[in-house]
Structure 1
Amino acid sequence: MEFFIDRDPFLKVLARIQSVVERRNTMPILGNALLEVANGQLTVSATDLEVSLRTVTRVESVVEGAMTVGARVLFDVVKELPAKAIRLRGEGERLLLTCDRARFDLATLPAAQFPRIPDADGEFRLAIPREQLIGMLERTQFAMSTDETRYVLNGIFMQLTAATEVDQPGRIRMVATDTHRMAMVEQSLEHAVPENREVILPKKGIHEIRKLLEEDDSPPEMILGETYAQLIKPDLTLVTKVVQGRFPDWRRVVPTGNTVRLTTTREAFHQVVKRISTLSHEKSLGVRLSIEETRMRIVTVSPEQEEAEEEMAVTFDGPNPLTIGFNARYLREILTVMSGETAQFALKDDESPVLVYDPERGDALFVLMPMRV
C-alpha cells in the first residue's frame, strides 16, 4: 500500500474517528484504524464493535492495499505536520509516513484482523432534514440515562408512524428518560414513512450522529434495521447497534390531573437558576421554588450552608403559597432546550411529577420529578 494525500483532508478524516476508537479494550485491533486504498480513494474505518465509522477521501494512489495502524498515534502525528503532502507506504509490518523532512515509522496490525463493519439490515430508509434531526436530538439527548444497568434507557427511543391517509407524511417521535426526567418530541416528516418502526438508538451512537450532523450541511439519510442503524452522508457511513429490549411506555410517565399552572419567562427563569446554581458544583444541588400570587422566590442552600435567592414575576393560578423543589441541573437543561419565550409548568402538588412545555409550541413536552430541598 502506498499513497499521497494532503495533510488537511487527512487530518479531518482522522479526527472524525477518534471518538469511535475504543480507548480501553482487550482487543488491540480496536485501537487501530483500518486504511484501505483502492480506485484513487482512501477509506478509513474505526469500530468499538458497537459504533463503527467509515469515511472516504480522494488520494493519489500508487499501490492499492490495506493495513491498520494506531488511530490515536496517527492522528497525533498528522496533527503536528506542516500543511503539505504526506506520503504513506506500507513496508512489511510497518507503515512509513513522510512529510517534508519528517519521517515516522509506525507499527501496524494485519487488515485481516480488523472486525467486519456490518450494514443495517432491511430496507427501511428515512430521509429527514438535517436541521429537524439535530433539533429533535438536542431536545431529548440530555434526558438519556447514564445507569448502565438500565440499558434500554441508555439511548433515545425513536418511533416512526406511517400516515393513515394516502399522500400524507408520516410522523417521528423521540423519547428519552432517566426516570428523574423525561423528554418527548414529536413532529411530522416531509416524506412518507413506509411502515411503522420502533428502535432504540444507543447513547454513544447518538453522540456520534449529532457530531457528524453538525459538521456541515450535507443531507443525511438513515437506514433502520432490526440489529443495526446507519447514518449516511456523501463521504461517510456511521453504523451503530440498536439497543435490544422494550422501551417503557412513556405515556404512563406523563402526569394527568395537574391543574395548577405556573407560567414564567423562560430565559429569565433560566438565568435565575443558572445564577444561583453557581453556589455549588454539586450535580444534585436543589432549588426551592416558593410561589405566591404573582411572585416566585427561587432559593438554594449549598452543603456548606451558603444560601442564595432571587425573586421574579410569574403568572400562577394555584393555591397560595406553593413550595416545590427541583434538581437545579435538570431544571436548567429543560429550560435550555426549550426555545419559546415562555415556559409553562403544570403541577399537582409538591411531590407529584411536573409537566413542562411551551404553551405556544405543541411538539414537545418534558416531565420533571420534584425533590425535597
Structure 2
Amino acid sequence: MRIQVDQNSLSNHISVVQKGISNRTTLQILDGILLETVNNKLKLTATDLEIRIETYLDCDIIEEGAVVVDSKIFGNIIKKLPNAPVNINIEENNINITCESSEFNILGNPASEYPELPTIINQNSFEIPKDLFKSAIRQTVFATTQDETRPILTGVLLEVSNGIGSFVALDGYRLALRSIPINLKEDIKIVIPGRVLGELNKILDDKDELTITTAPGHIIFDMGDTVVSSRLLEGQFLNYKDIIRKEHKTNLRVDRKKFQDSLERASLLAKEEKANLVKLNIANNEINIKSNSEIGNVNEQISSAQEGEDINIAFNSKYVIDGIKAIDSEEIELFFMGSLNPCIINPVEDENYTYLVLPVRLAQEDY
C-alpha cells in the first residue's frame, strides 16, 4: 500500500475514529485503526465491538492495500508532523511514514486479523438537522446513569410516535426529556448507549442533515464522510410518562441564570458525602437557598413569581444545577407537589423540554 495524504486532514480523521476505541478492550488488535484504500479514498475504521466508526478522506493512491496501525502511536506521529503532504508506504506490515524531513518506521498488523464486522440490514431511516440532534443529546445524555448494574439506564430512550421524537434519560434521581419533530411514519422505541451519543456530540458539526438508520439491535448515524454505528441496549426502559405528573400545588417563575448562580454558590459548602444537600424555603415570592456543613453555612435569596402554597424542600444541588444548565431560555418554571414529590423544571414558553428531579427527604425541623 502506498498513498500520499494531507497531514491536517489525516490528523482530524484519526481524532474522529479514535473515539471508537475503548480503554477496556481485551483484544489488542482493537487498540488499532484499520487503514484501507476504498473507492479512491483512504478509509479509517475503529471499533470496540460495541461502537464502530468509519471515516473517509481524499488521498492519492499509488498502490492499494490495508493494514492495522496502533491508534495512539499513529495519531501522535501524524499530529506532530508539519502541515504538508504525508507519504505512507506499507510493505509486509512495515509502515514507513515520511513528511518533509521527518521519517518514521513502525510495525503494523495484518488487516486480516481485524475482526469482521456484522452486516447491518437497514430497517427505518430518517433525516434530522445536526444542530437539533446535538441539542437533544446535550439536554438529555448527562442524566444517564454510570451504574453498570442497571445497563438500560446507561442509555437514552428514543421513542418516535406520530412524527414526534422523544429523547429520554433517567438515572433514578432525575429525568430529562426533549421532544423534537422527526419525519418518520413508523413508530420506533430504542435505547441508544449514552457513550455513543456523547462521542457523536463531539464529532458532529452544526451544518446540514444527519441520516439515522435503525436496524434490529443496531443504529447507524451517517454524516457523509463519517459513519458511526452502534449496538442498541436491550431491556425494558422505565415508563417515564407515569413519572411526570401534571398536577401541582406550587409553581415558580425565576431567572435561570440568577437561580443557577445562587445554587452554585450554595453548593460550595455542600458536602458530597451529604448528597450535595441544599435546602429551599419558598415563600412570599422569594426562594431562600441554604447549605451548611462542618465548614460553615451559606444563605442565598432570590426573588421569584410564586403561585400556590409555600414549601420547604431539599435537593442534591448537582442534580438541579445540571438540569438548569441544559436549558437555554432566560426564565424557567418550577412545579412542586409537596416536599416529598419530584420537582419539574421547564423553560418558560417551551413545552419541548422537561427536567424532573427527586428531592432529598428531610424532617421539617432540619430546614
TM-score, structure 2 as length reference: 0.94
State the partner residue of 1:239. 229
Are residues 1:248 and 2:238 paired? yes
1:204 maps to amino acid = R
**1:255/1:354 contact within 8 Å kept:** no
Secondary structure of the equivalent of 1:128?
Answer: strand
CA distance in 1 between counterparts of 2:153 and 2:22 reads 22
CA distance in 1, matches of 2:60, 2:204: 28
Look up the match of 1:201.
Answer: 192
Please state whether the residue corresponding to 2:19 is helix, strand or coil: coil
Paired residues of 1:121 and 1:227 also in contact (CA < 8 A): no
Are 1:186 and 1:364, in contact at CA under 8 Å, matched by a contact in 2? yes
Q: 1: CA distance between counterparts of 2:101 and 2:316?
A: 56
**2-structure distance, mates of 1:187, 1:3:** 44
Alignment match of 1:264 (pick from 254, 273, 287): 254
Counterparts in 2 of 1:329-368, with a 5 A limit? 329-368=318-357
8 Å Cα contact 1:263-1:316 kept in structure 2: yes
Matched, 1:110 2:102: no
Counterparts in 2 of 1:316 and 1:119: CA distance versus 1, 3 Å: farther
Write the mapping of 1:211-226 to structure 2, written as runs, cut at 5 A.
Answer: 211-214=202-205, 217-226=207-216
Amino acid at match of 1:182: L
Task: Tell me the CA shift for residue 43 of structure 1.
Answer: 0.1
Distance 2:41 2:23 in 1: 27
Q: 1:137 to 1:13 in 2, by over 3 A?
A: same
Question: Which residue is 2:285 aligned to?
Answer: 294
Cross-structure match for 1:324: 313
Distance in 2, Cα, partners of 1:36 & 1:312: 60
Residues 160 and 352 of structure 1, relative CA distance in 2, 3 Å threshold = same
- Residue type at the aligned position of 1:329: K
State whether residues 270 and 278 of structure 2, in contact with CA within 8 Å, keep that contact through their aligned partners in structure 1: no
Map residues 158-197 of structure 1 onto 2, 5 A cutoff: 158-162=158-162, 170-189=163-182, 191=183, 193-197=184-188
Matched, 1:136 2:150: no
The 3 A distance-change label for structure 1 pair 201 and 19 is same
1:38: how far off?
Answer: 3.5
Q: Answer yes or no: is the 8 Å Cα contact 1:259–1:348 preserved in 2.
A: yes
Q: Which moved more, 1:249-258 or 1:23-32?
A: 249-258
Deviation, structure 1 residue 171: 1.3
AA aligned opposite 1:221: T
Report deviation, 1:281: 7.2
CA distance in 2, matches of 1:234, 1:251: 35
How big is each residue's C-alpha offset from its partner over 1:249-279, in whole Å with a ceiling of 9 and x where there is no partner?
1112113542221221112111111222234
Who is 2:27 aligned against?
Answer: 27
- Secondary structure, in 3 states, of the residue corresponding to 2:308? coil
Query: How far does residue 309 in structure 1 lie from its aligned partner after superposition?
Result: 1.6
Distance (Å, rounded) in 2 between the aligned partners of 1:220 and 1:120 = 18
Matched residues in 1 for 2:346 and 2:304: separation? 15
Q: Distance in 2 between matches of 1:174 and 1:43?
A: 32
Distance 2:25 2:131 in 1: 35
Unaligned runs of 5+ in 2: 363-367
Once the two structures are superposed, residues 99-142 of structure 1 have per-residue CA deviations (whole angstroms, 9 ceiling, x without a partner) of 12222111211111112334543330011111211121111111
Q: Quick one: structure 1 residues 27 and 241, their matched pair in 2 at CA, closer, same or farther if it must change by over 3 Å?
A: same
Residue of structure 1 equivalent to 2:365 = none
Contact residue 249 and residue 338 of structure 2 kept, 8 A: no
CA contact (8 A) 2:286 2:301 kept: yes
Once the two structures are superposed, residues 45-86 of structure 1 have per-residue CA deviations (whole angstroms, 9 ceiling, x without a partner) of 000011110000011111101010001110011111111111
Quick check: 1:120–1:223 contact (8 Å CA) kept in 2?
A: no
Task: Find 1:305's aligned residue among 286, 292, 295.
Answer: 295
CA–CA distance in 2 between the matches of 1:151 and 1:100? Answer: 49
Bigger shift: 127-136 or 173-182?
Answer: 127-136
Instruction: Show the counterpart of 2:87.
Output: 87
Q: Identity over the aligned pairs, expressed in percent?
A: 23
SS in 2 for 1:19: helix
2:52 aligned with 1:52: yes
CA distance in 2, matches of 1:240, 1:46: 12
Structure 1-normalised TM-score? 0.92
Whether the aligned pair in 2 keeps the contact of 1:121 and 1:228 (CA below 8 Å) is no
**Distance across 1 between alignment mates of 2:117 and 2:265:** 47
Gaps of 5+ in 1: 163-169
Contact 1:263 1:314 (C-alpha < 8 Å) held by counterparts: yes
Query: Residues of 2 paired with 1:372 and 1:245: CA distance?
Result: 30
The question of whether the paired residues in 1 share the 8 Å contact of 2:7 and 2:83 is answered with yes
Secondary structure at the aligned position of 2:143 is classed as: coil
Secondary structure of the residue aligned to 1:75 is helix
Aligned residues: 361
Please say if 1:369 is aligned against 2:358.
Answer: yes
Q: Deviations over 1:226-257 (max 9, x none)?
A: 21100001201100111111211111211354
